[in-house]
Protein backbone atom coordinates (compact mmCIF):
# COMPACT_ATOMS: atom_id res chain seq x y z
CA UNK A 1 0.00 0.00 0.00
CA UNK A 2 1.48 3.32 -1.11
CA UNK A 3 1.31 6.80 0.29
CA UNK A 4 -2.18 8.24 -0.08
CA UNK A 5 -1.77 11.38 -2.19
CA UNK A 6 -4.10 14.36 -2.05
CA UNK A 7 -6.95 13.79 -4.54
CA UNK A 8 -6.06 17.15 -6.08
CA UNK A 9 -2.82 15.57 -7.31
CA UNK A 10 -5.13 14.68 -10.18
CA UNK A 11 -5.41 17.76 -12.41
CA UNK A 12 -9.12 17.32 -13.19
CA UNK A 13 -9.98 17.10 -9.51
CA UNK A 14 -7.74 20.11 -8.82
CA UNK A 15 -9.62 22.08 -11.51
CA UNK A 16 -13.02 21.63 -9.85
CA UNK A 17 -14.53 24.91 -8.64
CA UNK A 18 -14.78 25.18 -4.80
CA UNK A 19 -18.50 24.33 -4.57
CA UNK A 20 -18.09 21.21 -6.70
CA UNK A 21 -14.95 20.18 -4.80
CA UNK A 22 -16.86 20.46 -1.49
CA UNK A 23 -19.58 18.20 -2.91
CA UNK A 24 -17.15 15.66 -4.42
CA UNK A 25 -14.49 15.37 -1.72
CA UNK A 26 -16.47 13.12 0.68
CA UNK A 27 -17.54 10.83 -2.20
CA UNK A 28 -14.04 10.15 -3.58
CA UNK A 29 -12.68 6.74 -2.64
CA UNK A 30 -8.90 6.15 -2.53
CA UNK A 31 -7.81 3.09 -4.55
CA UNK A 32 -4.52 1.27 -4.97
CA UNK A 33 -3.75 0.70 -8.67
CA UNK A 34 -1.24 -2.15 -8.96
CA UNK A 35 0.50 -2.98 -12.24
CA UNK A 36 -1.78 -5.00 -14.53
CA UNK A 37 -5.01 -4.30 -12.65
CA UNK A 38 -7.94 -4.21 -15.08
CA UNK A 39 -10.24 -1.30 -14.21
CA UNK A 40 -12.81 -2.39 -16.76
CA UNK A 41 -13.18 -4.81 -19.66
CA UNK A 42 -14.63 -4.14 -23.08
CA UNK A 43 -18.42 -4.34 -23.01
CA UNK A 44 -18.80 -4.36 -19.22
CA UNK A 45 -20.94 -1.93 -17.25
CA UNK A 46 -18.93 0.94 -15.76
CA UNK A 47 -19.42 1.14 -11.98
CA UNK A 48 -16.87 3.92 -11.32
CA UNK A 49 -14.72 6.51 -13.00
CA UNK A 50 -11.07 6.62 -11.92
CA UNK A 51 -8.83 9.63 -11.31
CA UNK A 52 -5.17 8.47 -11.25
CA UNK A 53 -2.84 10.52 -9.04
CA UNK A 54 0.49 8.81 -9.72
CA UNK A 55 -0.53 5.79 -11.80
CA UNK A 56 -0.78 5.47 -15.59
CA UNK A 57 -3.65 3.57 -17.21
CA UNK A 58 -3.64 2.25 -20.79
CA UNK A 59 -6.86 2.31 -22.78
CA UNK A 60 -6.87 -0.59 -25.22
CA UNK A 61 -9.32 -1.08 -28.07
CA UNK A 62 -10.40 -4.73 -28.10
CA UNK A 63 -11.24 -6.41 -31.42
CA UNK A 64 -13.67 -9.26 -31.97
CA UNK A 65 -10.82 -11.77 -32.34
CA UNK A 66 -9.49 -10.80 -28.90
CA UNK A 67 -6.59 -8.72 -30.21
CA UNK A 68 -6.07 -5.24 -28.85
CA UNK A 69 -4.19 -2.02 -29.55
CA UNK A 70 -3.40 0.86 -27.20
CA UNK A 71 -5.42 3.93 -28.13
CA UNK A 72 -4.38 6.27 -25.32
CA UNK A 73 -2.96 6.56 -21.83
CA UNK A 74 -4.36 8.39 -18.83
CA UNK A 75 -2.35 9.73 -15.93
CA UNK A 76 -2.84 12.43 -13.35
CA UNK A 77 -4.17 14.80 -16.02
CA UNK A 78 -7.45 12.98 -16.44
CA UNK A 79 -9.91 10.24 -15.74
CA UNK A 80 -10.71 6.74 -16.89
CA UNK A 81 -14.32 6.04 -17.88
CA UNK A 82 -15.51 8.85 -20.16
CA UNK A 83 -18.06 6.52 -21.80
CA UNK A 84 -20.11 6.84 -18.64
CA UNK A 85 -20.99 10.49 -19.18
CA UNK A 86 -20.74 10.46 -22.98
CA UNK A 87 -23.95 8.48 -23.30
CA UNK A 88 -22.97 4.86 -22.77
CA UNK A 89 -22.72 2.65 -19.76
CA UNK A 90 -20.25 0.37 -21.52
CA UNK A 91 -17.21 0.90 -23.69
CA UNK A 92 -15.39 -1.04 -26.44
CA UNK A 93 -12.07 -0.47 -24.67
CA UNK A 94 -10.25 -2.14 -21.81
CA UNK A 95 -8.51 -0.08 -19.11
CA UNK A 96 -5.37 -1.63 -17.60
CA UNK A 97 -2.89 -0.11 -15.14
CA UNK A 98 0.39 0.30 -17.02
CA UNK A 99 2.39 1.99 -14.26
CA UNK A 100 1.47 1.18 -10.66
CA UNK A 101 0.33 3.87 -8.27
CA UNK A 102 -2.81 5.17 -6.66
CA UNK A 103 -5.84 7.19 -7.50
CA UNK A 104 -9.41 7.91 -6.54
CA UNK A 105 -12.69 6.70 -7.88
CA UNK A 106 -16.20 8.04 -7.95
CA UNK A 107 -19.38 5.99 -8.31
CA UNK A 108 -20.95 5.92 -11.77
CA UNK A 109 -24.30 7.29 -10.58
CA UNK A 110 -22.61 10.22 -8.84
CA UNK A 111 -20.61 11.07 -11.97
CA UNK A 112 -23.70 10.95 -14.19
CA UNK A 113 -25.64 13.16 -11.77
CA UNK A 114 -22.78 15.68 -11.66
CA UNK A 115 -22.50 15.75 -15.46
CA UNK A 116 -26.26 16.14 -15.84
CA UNK A 117 -26.21 19.32 -13.73
CA UNK A 118 -24.90 20.94 -16.96
CA UNK A 119 -22.62 23.31 -15.08
CA UNK A 120 -18.87 23.68 -14.57
CA UNK A 121 -18.30 19.92 -14.17
CA UNK A 122 -19.87 19.17 -17.54
CA UNK A 123 -17.74 21.84 -19.25
CA UNK A 124 -14.55 20.59 -17.56
CA UNK A 125 -15.26 16.98 -18.55
CA UNK A 126 -16.09 17.91 -22.14
CA UNK A 127 -12.78 19.83 -22.45
CA UNK A 128 -10.93 16.82 -21.08
CA UNK A 129 -12.75 14.52 -23.51
CA UNK A 130 -11.68 16.74 -26.41
CA UNK A 131 -8.06 16.47 -25.24
CA UNK A 132 -8.37 12.68 -24.98
CA UNK A 133 -9.84 12.44 -28.50
CA UNK A 134 -6.91 14.52 -29.77
CA UNK A 135 -4.47 12.13 -28.08
CA UNK A 136 -6.26 9.16 -29.69
CA UNK A 137 -6.03 10.80 -33.12
CA UNK A 138 -2.32 11.51 -32.65
CA UNK A 139 -1.77 7.88 -31.60
CA UNK A 140 -3.54 6.63 -34.73
CA UNK A 141 -1.46 8.88 -36.99
CA UNK A 142 1.75 7.94 -35.18
CA UNK A 143 1.00 4.21 -35.51
CA UNK A 144 0.38 4.62 -39.24
CA UNK A 145 3.10 7.06 -40.28
CA UNK A 146 6.01 6.78 -37.85
CA UNK A 147 8.77 4.21 -37.51
CA UNK A 148 8.72 1.78 -34.58
CA UNK A 149 11.50 3.80 -32.88
CA UNK A 150 9.43 6.98 -33.22
CA UNK A 151 6.32 5.19 -31.90
CA UNK A 152 8.22 3.97 -28.84
CA UNK A 153 9.25 7.56 -28.08
CA UNK A 154 5.60 8.51 -27.80
pLDDT at residue 12, rounded to an integer: 95
pLDDT at residue 151, rounded to an integer: 47
- What are the sequence ranges of the domains in the chain? 7-138
Average the pLDDT over 24-34 and give the result. Answer: 96
Exposure letters 39-57 (e unless 16+ CB within 10 A, then b): bbebeeebebbbbbbbbbb
Torsion, Cα of 49, 89, 130, 145 (10° steps): 100
Q: Which of 26-40, 110-124, 135-149 has the largest mean confidence?
A: 26-40
Report pTM.
0.85
pLDDT at residue 143, rounded to an integer: 58
Mean pLDDT of the chain: 87
Check whether 28 has a pLDDT greater than 80: yes
Pinpoint the alpha helices (H) of 27-119: 108-116
Interval 138-151: pLDDT, tens: 766 665 665 656 54
Average the pLDDT over 24-35 and give the result. Answer: 96
Higher pLDDT pick, 63 / 48: 48
Q: Would you say domain 7-138 falls under CATH 2.60.120.10?
A: yes
Amino acid sequence: MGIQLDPRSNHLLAALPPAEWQRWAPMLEWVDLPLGKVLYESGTQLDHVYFPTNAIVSLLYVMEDGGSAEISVVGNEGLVGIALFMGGGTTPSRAVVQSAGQGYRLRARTMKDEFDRAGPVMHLLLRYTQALITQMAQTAVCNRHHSLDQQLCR
